[in-house]
Structures are given as structure tokens and as C-alpha cells.
Structure 1
């Protein structure tokens, strides 16, 4: 189809676009920035999830993995698995690796493998070391971090439990590393026979046994599903957790989806902030086209033609912005995945992801349409006489209801897509409601600032009178500036406060009597001797201990756990195994909120005490039943009471505490804690760990501060990525602010020329404009601090259930950023205007 065959509005639109895209630079930049962010996030997350699916067998270590806690598979269970394919048995546990002279030690994640390992992928060691041969010879391989922590080199020995192990090399590639999840220490890889020499595996030890199964002849997914169902049916009492190759790392997959959702919402926030720039650009463009519109209307053009003409132009320009954004969004993953290949947890290959790009394009077009419809709704309804006579007529005309309805409908569709396509729709709903509330409140803030300026007493200073007058006069920039910066700064304040509160919980808010150490795998028989040892080493310390087992919830009120619908906050309780204990008395740092504790000598049917928040999330109450699998035995217990637990104390507490008779005769280990009465002495702690390792080699010591430091380090990396992503919203705000100031260029030029003609100096005008921009920036900062604090409180206190604190420096930083940006950009644009000659401007008024 040639241009002459196009409908008249499109022909006119193409003809007008020949003059270039003057006035639409900010429009294009805002749309392109938001679309690029969403497209890039979608493509990267899709590349990683595809990598998980593609490498599922290697990541899991087999086609199917059957995991047991605190016990090995029985002969019957092992025989059943071997009947279906090749089996590899792997044990994972925590332990302490100590230097041969006992001078230093560190927590390690021990992984013991058999001769069949790995079923998929290749285990590689650095420096041309034969990994398999090293393990078969009784040596160990370790993460490079272990060598750094202990200051050892290849060929040195470390003591683990009762065995001395030679470090034969560093692990270069562990194909199934993701299957074991996050650890608090570096990996130490040994063989199963070597594990037996350490003496770490005792009855009740916290060992996880995983049986990876490789099916023959490249079995299809349907065969994997059938095997899982058949195994659970044939051995219902096994109590194992089953994962298949299509869900090799559910935690990582979930984290990728959640993080991608957050970054997508940040990109959408940038788009919405940019929508203000779209509205400003469209309004300014139509104001410039006032003579053209007047001419068309004078020649008999109907209002509908005018609207269609400029709607076509806006959509063409929006489409160009979307194309630019998609091109950037498709290119970013290629570069990002190439540079991050060494640190990504899964092999992600670059590719073209039409769905991710399509969603980004749809978001961009809907945003442009939503914000362009209102100013477009005014264009066709202005009388030609008003256009020629009054330059401000355009801004005073109300858009037609049909355009308002169309804009609202487009916004609803945009919000619906954001919620429908989200991983967590509840969070997406909060986001949509929050953005809508922020827009409404920012409009109210702009109206309030304008009203206050209008009613403010007359100042003696000329500059102050000009500044205040500019805020409330017709065509003022107040609304645009407040909207431009408001959302972006609110996002940054919210992220900063969440970051600060999380770090406060991990560090500053540690209770004075928080334990310094947790000791795991204290055997029941040696527990009294170990407690005596701790009391002798640090007599003034508080030492506590409780029995500990591991169990997995398999049914709630006889309903299988897989069919339960817990709230998102407690869904983790049903995923994998949990620590359980038994006690004759109510645990410390908890209080009963419902029901009664059992008698100290109770010996009847199993009873359990549930943490109240978890019980509510699972829909349980006193009198209900819960079934757990512990050591291959299914135990159904009645909920006798609910407890409110002070988790922040870091004292020993469990979600489930059973009556003592429940586990009569069962093997268990003891969990112990040691709390200093005052500030910890690093030298005394180091000595304690050395002596404990020498006398009780099977005990694992976890220093609380080191564990928190590791979590804090991971959190720092995560929050850095979030802050960088959130800066996209601020970048959009700056673009929109620059566009708003550019849109007011002509009016500012007239003001400057007239005031200079009346005797105003350049310094007075700069001061007046600076005061105006400073007041608007300050008002925006106040809103951003209040709204950001409320949003952060909702996340920290509402979603995370943690105490919330406000950090004054964050408020000051937000105020400084807002005022500096507004004044800086405003004066940068004004400076050039002040140098204009008066005569040429006055002749064209």
C-alpha cells in the first residue's frame, strides 16, 4: 500500500513527521528506557530458567532424586531404585575442617559421593588433577574458599572429625552443586569410604542421604512422572522427598522468578514515571501545533480528524520508542550473560525470546496510549477563534469523557497485565494499588503546593514573590515537576529503608544475650561431657541444649501436604524437612497463645506444640492433627497448644515441639548454644573452637557472627542489584523532569525577556527561578520520604513480619537529591534563556 492509499489522518501524520521528532526526545527516551528494562529482565530470566530446564539432569545429578534425612535407604528401598536404573548415593552434612596443628578451623559443607558419581555431567578439579582418582585414593577436593580461609595449599592436610585428609585439588566444576542449595561454608568433597573414617555419621547425626537415579534409554518425562508415582505408592512409609529433572533446583527457579518479577515491576514503574513525560510531551507538542490545528478547524476539518491525525503520530512515535527499547532489551542479555558467565549459578545461553519482548512491547504501547489520550482528548474540541486568540486555551479545555474513559480502560488493562503475568500476584496487586495511590497523592500534593503558594502572604523580596507566583500561575510547572520526581524518589526511599532495616535485623538489632555459638551433631551419649566442657571453658557463659531430629510434614488433618494451600509467608514449612524437638516444659523465649502445655510426666498419644504464626498460615488450630515423617516413621500428633516465639532472640526454638514420649527410643543428636554475658572475646572464641575440635571432633561449631556476616554479604550483593535496577525509575524521573522544563521553555523565555525589559537583573531571575525549583523539589522530597517510609513499612512489617525503623539520613539524602536535581536541571535550562535578546522575542509576542 502506498502513502496515497492510506487514510487521510495517516497521510497527514506522515507528512507532519517529515519535519522530525522535535519535542519527542524525552517521549522516545522514556518509552525506550522502560521497554528495554522489561525486555532485558524478561530475556535474562528466561535464559536462566531455560538453562535450568536444559541442564536439569546435571543440576539434579540424575533423572530423579530421592532424599532422606538422618537415615540411609533400607535394603528394600535401595533394591527398588536399582531395579529402575543406575543409582548414586550421596551424603551431605556440615562439619569442621581444622588445620593439623589445631590453630585454625572453619565450617565446611561436606559431600561424600560413591563410585557412580556423577551420573550426569563431569566433576572437574583445577591444575590437571584427576578428580575421580583423588577421591578414590581417600583425598579430598575443596572449594577455593576453603584454601583462602585456612591459608592452606594443595597437598596440605586438614582434620575432619577423626580423619586427616589430604587436599588433592580445588573444585573447578561440581555439576550438581545447585541441587544442595545454599551453604554456610565452602564445599569439601570426599568419597563415601572416607566419610566412614571421619566418624561423623552417628545415630541421630544431621546427615542428608540423596539417591540419584539415572533412567535407561533417555527416558521421556512421562516415564519420570510414572516412576515417582509408583515409588510413592510402593513405599509409602519411606518419607523421602522426591525431585525430578524438570524441577532440579526449585529454590533457584523460584528466586529467579521472584527477582525477575521485582525487576519487571521496577521497569514498569520506570515506564509509568515515563508516562508523565509522555503526557507532557504530547501536551507541549499539541501546543506547538496550535496554528496547524486552528487552520485545519477553520478549513472545516472535524474534531475527529484532528484527534485521529495526532493520535496516529503519537502511536507511530511510541512504536519507534518500543522498537528502540526492544533492540536494547534484546542486546543487553547477550552482553550481560557473556560478562557474568563465571558468576551465574546456571549455564544460560543467549537467545531470542519473543514472549519476553512481546510483553515489553505491549507494556510500552499501553503506557504511551494511557498517558497520551487525555491531552489528545482536548485537541479537537478547541474553537479556532480561541486558538488564535488565547495561547493558554489548550490547557483549560477539559477532555471528552470518552477519552477519559479510554485512558482509564487502558490503565486498567495495563494493571491487569502486570498482575496476571506476575509470579506473585499479591505483590503485583500491592504494586498496582501503590502506584495508583502515589499518582493520586502526587496530584493532591501538587494541588496543595499550588493552593499554599496562591494564599501565601506577599513577600518583601522580589525574588520570593516571583518564585511563589511562578508556582501557582496558569501553565505552571508544579504538577509536572512533582509528578516527575515523586515516583522515582519514592521507589529509591523505599528500597533504601528496606535495605537499612534488613541490615539492622542482621547486625545492630542482635539481642545482648544472643548466642555466640551453635553446636550441632552433639551425640546424645557425649552431651553431658560436652556441656561440662563448655562450662569449664567459659564459666560465666550461658549454655543451653535441646534434643534435635529432622522431620518432614506429610499431612495436615489427614490431607496430604501437597494438596495444602498455605499462605505465602509459611509455604516454606512444607518444603523439605524441618528441625523438630521434644520437651516436657514450655521452651524459653515463647509463650502460649492457645491451649495448654502437657504434664511433665505425660506418656499418652503424641502431642505437638505449633508456632502460632505458622499454624495460622497452615490453617491449623488446637485439636487439629499434623503428620510428620521422622526417621522413616510416620507420626500423627494432635496440636495441644500454639506458641508465640521470639525468633529475633536467636535462642533455640522450633516450629514443632513434641511431647517427650513421641520419640521414645529414637536416636537423636543434641543442639547446644553458648551465649557470652558480655562482649565476645575473639581470642577466647578461637580457643574454644580449637579445644572443642580436639576433644569432640564430630561436633560442628557455627559462630553466629560469621553466619550473619555471610548472609549479610549475600544480602549486600542482592540489594546492590536492586538499587542499580531501581535507579532506572530515577533516570526516568530525571528525563521527565528535563522534558517538563523543556516544555515550559517558551513561557520561561517570555517571562525572562519581559522581566529583563522591566529592569530585572540576571542574578535576580536566577535566584527567583532557583527558589521556585527548590521549593518544588523540597515538597517532592517530603512526599517521597513519607510515601517511601509507608511502603517500606508495609514490606518490612507487613510482608516480612519484622520490626521497622526509620533512618533520618535516608530522608535527608532524598531531600538533597530532589532539591539538587530540580534546581540543577531547572537552572541549566534557564541560564541559556537569560542570554536571549529582548527585541526578537517581543516582536513575536
Structure 2
């Protein structure tokens, strides 16, 4: 078979001529290739690494979950008949998890994450690594009357303990028998607020921590009998249990979705990083457009020759498009190669620090999406400048750069450009984890490009209308801003979008930090108290009144329940927005009240009377209700303690969430849960700021007098949140450097494209008597003005976007950071002046004679 490569004459004329042009090499297209390759690398790398994380979670799901299937209930244990049914399917291990205060006899205490296990069967799958090494049964056995417990090193450090020392847990004194080095199913449990403490189930029952309504999660881990049981076997067991025990109220995880929240967070963060990469690619699109315009400018003689020989504008367009398409394909392939290698590089460098299994591999789907982004961006930013060259007559081609008539391309090229942009939007939305966010991003990016273009035109128009300064350097700098072939549009476009993104990240981070470090501590309570037994509530109130006179104690009943139906729809059928979907998964805190809770106000409907005794009523958060499509009178079904409770929506409330007070999405009328076992949740707020020593003393006193009550010091929680936020912000800033690099590349390309014009200007001005110092000062002023204007736009646009993100998505007040704004303005000035003067210095070094001979 004869190949097309061997017989190029079989190619259409346009393709043959375009490929012939590529034989001349890639000189002058370094920026073009770098822009495409950088964006594609970012998107392909992030997509491949994220897919590797998700695939790793799936492949190692059995080890991560510690079972084939896990059945979870809250507050109370699963009914004996359900436990017996599970036991017939394979090996069953029972566990319980909760939070509690661990203390020593000296009085010090700390919050711990308790995992009570069956020592005989734990772990069902995987290996528990401890120091000293030993079996779970031996390490958790009772010695000298004290049950053994395994702890993480952080607990020893906080309480100044060592292996063998005693520890008090609730009403029971235990002994530290070893240190947990590797817990096989830790990821499935999510993030904790304290170090892990592992104890046997029998010992846990002796602690006194199991009280009616206590927030204890009971887990029933099942390993199927068949060693090679497939996913379908697991699903059959789950379906059978749901059918046989519909009122059990258990949540189920299987090895196929061992950690759904973690997988969801990975995908969500991956989408954000993908949008960062797409931003870099869109910025690079400006570089692509500049490179294409520069190519057309360099090929004026070739185009004129082709047209003089009878070539049509369509043929010229096709030839050049073939050349650009070949270059875009090369840049995309480079990006795909680097992106597919990124997961391997990350694992090689940081594999030891990543707690999640990563299945590094080449994922064709993710690479195809990245290639689609790269090629569509290249096409979208190429069609317009090429289309404008279609109808340029031969004579006009030679003077197009100095006498542009501002014409638009033919309609077909406009439509082709719009089609390419439409394809880019469709790909971005279709491939997104959160399609609404992706659509908003694309609309925002399009708006930013339009506004940036208008800003550039506005700067040029204003510069043209300003009075001419007497100072020669200033007059030349002002003229350079609006003259034909000015750098103004290229600089504003190249830096504007990248600086806008940097502004958004910096200002959102500043707002969040202000909320955590200043605003919340001023309004937030000092302590949260969880699992106050109903029988101990009055004594607890009296104890706090004696220990903290003048402080405000706010205590409410608390149960746990999961939504079963909202209105006439099961929760499985509700397609809610991403920002409120979390309320439909798993158990939620619920309460009852005779009056409107603090931090709430009724905005629709009426509150029930204090002595209401009719059918159950419920009050719903207005934002959640609107998102779920609920209205007054709709019925809500919630599973509480294994029983489905049906209540009618009586009103909707606006809830103030930003002060860390006690708030619940749903509040029921008191008669709904009369007689149901439950605990209480309380907050304590001091009138004045208390020293840390007094707060810690109160924490230890509560832990001693009420061993079953879990105390959380809000300052400690905020500090932990702040540290996590710092880590996330650092990662986001690191990722956003990609956009900055793209901006620098495009800026460098724009300055390189204008190098020839700068050389002519410098030679003529030097011939007329201008000194090198005057020219450097002139160009420095021009670049500084452009950088400042672009940065001010970036800060303004970024502030608006950050305001919308903080107030509408994060629901926290927006805080403008002057330091971040000044930093961005300074960065823009340094980049534009630095790169501009570097190019200008080269232009000033050109010898006048060769340039003048060719003018």
C-alpha cells in the first residue's frame, strides 16, 4: 500500500504547501509551542494524577474500607436479627467510633478519636502495624486489671506519656500498650480532630461513654465468604439487606466506594486545578494569536506572491492553517508527554508523603480531554487573525501593520471562531465535576477577555486625546501607547487574566484568614460540649454556672438523622447543586425547639405555638429548601434511630452561619421526639476574652466531672482549620504559578513580535539625536504605565470575583487586602518593565546602517 507520506503529491495543494512550510523548522514559534505545551501539560498532568488517585481508591477500596462492605448506624447498635443476617454472609467484625476526652491523673486531658474493635477479627483486611509489634488480641488484652489501648504518637506527646503509662477514658483506667504506626482503614474514616486511640469493644463498653443519644457510630464490617467474590456479589448482599431490613437506617459503603467523600474532594480539587490549567491555556491563546499575526506579518511577501500567481484567499488561509495546525499538534503532543509523566514524577519525589494510594498510569481519556483543550484553544485563537488576512489585497499586505483598517474577517471565519469557542465551552462543561462552576468560569473568562480588550482600547483612546507633554520622553511614551502596532492590547491581554486569577486567590485567602483569625474568634463561643447525657443536663448547667459565672451557656437537644424523602421525592432522585448536596448524604444533626432558635429568623410561614401537640412539624433552612425545591406544606421524612419520622414543613428560616453558634438545617416541633433517647449539645461564650490557662483549666474540670462529655476548645479547632487552610492555599498558589508563567511567555512573545518595530523606532530616534538614556527612560515609562493599568484592572476584577466567591459560595464577609493588591501591582510593573527593557536593550544595540538601507 502506498503511503501518503511517500507520495505527498496526493495531498491537496493547501496541505502540501503547509507541510512544506514546516520543513523550514520551528524558528519563531517557541512562544507558540510553549504556550500550548504548558497549558496541555497542566491539564493532562492534573487529570492523570487525579484519575490515578480515584483509581487508587477504587483498586485499594477493599483495604481502605477494611472489608467488602460496611454497614453503619448511629446512636444505637444494629438489631440482633440484622447482625445475624450479616454473619451468615461471611466474616463479620463489629466496630464503634466516637470522640471523647482522654485524661491522666495529673489533670491534663485532650480530645481523642476512639475506635473500639473486635480484637479477634480486626483488621479483616490489611495489616495493623504497631510498635511493639504484636497481634491485636495481645495488644488490647487486659493486663493487671487495665485494658490495653493503642495510640498515635501525637497523644503521647500531648499528655507526656510513654508506652505502659495509665490513661483514663471515661470511667475506665487503661494502659498504653503500643503505638499505631499504620492503620489500614484510616482513610475510610475521614479526617479527625484528635489522635487515634484504639480499644477493644469489651473495654469500650466499660468506659461509661455509651449513653442514650451519644454520638457513636457502629460499624459492621463484612468480608464475604467467597475469596474471589466480585462486585456484583457485594451489591447483591447490600440489596438483600436493604430489602430485608428497610427500617434499619444503616448507611452502606462498599469496596467500590470506600471513601466517597475523599473521592469527591479529590475530584473537586482536581477540577479547580484543571480550571487553573485552562486559564493558563487561555492566556496562552493570546500568545497563539500574537504568533499567528506575527507569522502573517513575516509571510507578507510569500502571501503576496501566491496571490499574484492566482492563489485565492481561501487557499492562502488553508496553507497557513495547515502550518499552524501542525505546530499546535506538536505543542499538544509535547504537553501530553509531559502531563502523562507528571504522576510518575510526583510519586517519585513525594510518594512517601501521600497517604492516598495512587494508581499511576497513562489514562487515554484524560489525555484526550487535555488534547481537546489544547487544539480547540489553538483553533479558536488562530481563525480570527488568519481570517482577517483572507481579503487583504496584495498591495495592502505590505502596509497592513502600519495602516490597519480594523476590518472584521469574513462571516464564515467569525462563525468558525464561534464554533471553536463553543466546542471549548462544551468540553469544559461536559468534562467538569461541577458543571455549573465550569460554565461560570468560561463565562467569566469570556467576559474578562472582552473587558480587557475594551480596557486596552480605552487606554489607547485616552492616550491619543491627552495633551502632548513638553518632556520629550513622556511625549514619546504617550504616543507609543496608541500608535499603530502598539503593545498596549498585547500586554493588557497577556497579563490581565493571569493577574485577575492571582487577585482572586489572594483576596479569597485573605478573607478566609480574617474570618478565622479575627472575625470568628470575636463572635464565636469559646467551647463546644458534645454528648451531654439527657439525665446529666441539669447538673451540667449548674456545674458550668459555678465554674464560669457570667458566661453564656447555650444548650439544645441533639439527635442524628438522615433524609429519606423531601416532598414527594426520595433523596436519591434529587439533583441538588454541589454547594448544598452534602446535606443529602449521610446523617445530619437535628433538634427540636418550642421557640425560634438563636441566630435564626422566620422568613416564610409561621412558627408553631410553644404548647403545640398536633402532627409533627418541621422548620427548614430557606437556602436548602429552595435548592431542594421544597415549599410550605411539603412533607419531610427523616430516619432517626432506625425509625422513619414524617413531618410537614411549617416555615423556612434564614440562618446566620458565620458565628459558629449552634445551627441546624431542620428543627422539629418538640412533640416529634418526645421520649426518644438523645443527648445535648452546648456552647459556652465568655463575656470577655479569657487567658488560655483559664480556658484549659475549665476544659480539664469538665473532663474530670463529666467523663462522657466531649469538650472542644474553639481556638484549638480554629487553629487546626487555619493550618489546613494554609496548606491548601499554598498548593493553590503553587498551581496558579502556571498561569503566571503563561502570562510571562505571552508577554515575552508580544514584546518579541514588536521587536522589529522597536528597532526601527530606536534607529530613527538615535539618528535624530536621541540618547540611549532618553530612549530607555521613554520605554520604561511606557511599560510601567501598561503594567500599572493592567494590574489595577486585575485587582478590580479579582476583587469583584473574590467578593462573589466569599459572600455567595463561602458565605463569609469579603475582606480587601491592600498588601495583596500592592503586591500584584508591583509584580505587574516588574514583569512589564523588566521584559520590556530587556527587549529594548537588544533593539538599542542594533547598528543603524543595515536598518536604514532596508527601509
Is the 1:287–1:394 contact (alpha carbons within 8 Å) kept by the matching residues of 2? no
Which residue, out of 559, 572, 577, partners 2:587? 577
Per-residue CA distance 1:138-169 (angstroms, 9 max, x = gap): 31222232233333333333221122222222
How many residue pairs get matched?
844
Q: Which residue of 2 aligns with 1:22?
A: 27
Which residue, out of 810, 832, 854, partners 1:844? 854
Q: Which residue of 1 aligns with 2:766?
A: 756
Is the 1:379–1:394 contact (alpha carbons within 8 Å) kept by the matching residues of 2? no
Distance 1:38 1:575 in 2: 30
Q: Which residue of 1 aligns with 2:130?
A: 125
Per-residue CA distance 1:595-652 (angstroms, 9 max, x = gap): 2222222223222222222222222233222111111222111222222222222222
Q: Which residue of 1 aligns with 2:113?
A: 109
Q: Which residue of 2 aligns with 1:619?
A: 629
Question: How far 1:710 moved relative to its partner?
Answer: 1.2
Q: Is the counterpart of residue 592 in structure 1 residue 602 in structure 2? A: yes
Q: Which residue of 2 aligns with 1:659?
A: 669
Quickly say closer, same or farther: Cα 1:285–1:558, change in 2 above 3 A.
closer
Which residue, out of 438, 446, 468, partners 1:428? 438
Q: Secondary structure at the match of 1:720?
A: helix
Per-residue CA distance 1:323-342 (angstroms, 9 max, x = gap): 11111111111011233323
Greater CA drift, 289-298 or 475-484? 289-298
Question: How far 1:211 moved relative to its partner?
Answer: 0.9
Q: Is the counterpart of residue 38 in structure 1 residue 43 in structure 2? A: yes
Q: Which residue of 2 aligns with 1:634?
A: 644
Is the 1:3–1:11 contact (alpha carbons within 8 Å) kept by the matching residues of 2? no
Quickly say closer, same or farther: Cα 1:521–1:11, change in 2 above 3 A.
same
Quickly say closer, same or farther: Cα 1:74–1:566, change in 2 above 3 A.
same
Q: Secondary structure at the match of 1:509?
A: helix
Q: Which residue of 1 aligns with 2:352?
A: 342
Q: Is the counterpart of residue 783 in structure 1 residue 793 in structure 2? A: yes
- With normalisation by structure 2, the TM-score equals 0.96
Question: How far 1:274 moved relative to its partner?
Answer: 0.1
Q: Which residue of 2 aligns with 1:193?
A: 202
Q: Which residue of 2 aligns with 1:814?
A: 824
Quickly say closer, same or farther: Cα 1:313–1:3, change in 2 above 3 A.
farther
Q: Is the counterpart of residue 378 in structure 1 residue 388 in structure 2? A: yes
Which residue, out of 185, 188, 201, partners 1:176? 185
Q: How does 1:436-451 map to 2 (within 5 A)?
A: 436-451=446-461
Quickly say closer, same or farther: Cα 1:18–1:126, change in 2 above 3 A.
farther
Question: How far 1:127 moved relative to its partner?
Answer: 4.9
Distance 2:361 2:798 in 1: 37
Is the 1:91–1:210 contact (alpha carbons within 8 Å) kept by the matching residues of 2? yes
Per-residue CA distance 1:38-59 (angstroms, 9 max, x = gap): 0001100111111111111222
Is the 1:273–1:488 contact (alpha carbons within 8 Å) kept by the matching residues of 2? yes
Question: How far 1:491 moved relative to its partner?
Answer: 0.6
Q: Which residue of 2 aligns with 1:469?
A: 479
Distance 2:612 2:491 in 1: 70
Quickly say closer, same or farther: Cα 1:559–1:826, change in 2 above 3 A.
same
Which residue, out of 374, 384, 392, partners 1:364? 374
Q: Is the counterpart of residue 687 in structure 1 residue 687 in structure 2? A: no
Q: Secondary structure at the match of 1:211?
A: strand
Per-residue CA distance 1:494-547 (angstroms, 9 max, x = gap): 111111122222222116352101111121222222222212112121122122
Is the 1:129–1:169 contact (alpha carbons within 8 Å) kept by the matching residues of 2? no
Question: How far 1:8 moved relative to its partner?
Answer: 3.4
Q: How does 1:721-736 map to 2 (within 5 A)?
A: 721-736=731-746
Quickly say closer, same or farther: Cα 1:275–1:607, change in 2 above 3 A.
same
Q: Is the counterpart of residue 833 in structure 1 residue 837 in structure 2? A: no
Distance 2:538 2:400 in 1: 93
Per-residue CA distance 1:709-757 (angstroms, 9 max, x = gap): 1122112211211111112111101100000000000000000010011
Q: Which residue of 2 aligns with 1:2?
A: 6
Is the 1:23–1:284 contact (alpha carbons within 8 Å) kept by the matching residues of 2? no
Q: Which residue of 2 aligns with 1:76?
A: 81
Q: Secondary structure at the match of 2:39?
A: helix
Quickly say closer, same or farther: Cα 1:398–1:557, change in 2 above 3 A.
closer
Question: How far 1:380 moved relative to its partner?
Answer: 4.2
Greater CA drift, 597-606 or 72-81? 597-606
Q: Secondary structure at the match of 2:565?
A: strand
Q: Which residue of 2 aligns with 1:134?
A: 139
Distance 2:135 2:231 in 1: 34
Distance 1:356 1:788 in 2: 30
Q: Which residue of 1 aligns with 2:104?
A: 99
Q: Which residue of 2 aligns with 1:494?
A: 504
Q: Which residue of 2 aligns with 1:282?
A: 292
Q: Secondary structure at the match of 2:72?
A: strand
Q: Is the counterpart of residue 50 in structure 1 residue 55 in structure 2? A: yes
Distance 2:752 2:573 in 1: 58
Distance 2:369 2:577 in 1: 29
Question: How far 1:79 moved relative to its partner?
Answer: 1.3
Distance 2:176 2:284 in 1: 56
Per-residue CA distance 1:115-139 (angstroms, 9 max, x = gap): 2222221221245354442124431
Q: Which residue of 1 aligns with 2:802?
A: 792
Per-residue CA distance 1:747-791 (angstroms, 9 max, x = gap): 000000100111111111111101111111111112111111121
Distance 2:22 2:577 in 1: 54
Q: Secondary structure at the match of 1:648?
A: coil
Q: Which residue of 2 aligns with 1:304?
A: 314
Long gaps (5+) in structure 1: none
Is the 1:497–1:810 contact (alpha carbons within 8 Å) kept by the matching residues of 2? yes
Distance 2:560 2:738 in 1: 45
Long gaps (5+) in structure 2: none
Q: Which residue of 1 aligns with 2:780?
A: 770
Question: How far 1:398 moved relative to its partner?
Answer: 4.2
Quickly say closer, same or farther: Cα 1:394–1:27, change in 2 above 3 A.
farther
Question: How far 1:389 moved relative to its partner?
Answer: 6.1
Distance 2:488 2:690 in 1: 56
Q: Is the counterpart of residue 414 in structure 1 residue 419 in structure 2? A: no
Q: Is the counterpart of residue 257 in structure 1 residue 234 in structure 2? A: no
Is the 1:468–1:772 contact (alpha carbons within 8 Å) kept by the matching residues of 2? yes
Is the 1:88–1:119 contact (alpha carbons within 8 Å) kept by the matching residues of 2? yes
Q: Secondary structure at the match of 2:424?
A: helix
Q: Which residue of 2 aligns with 1:647?
A: 657
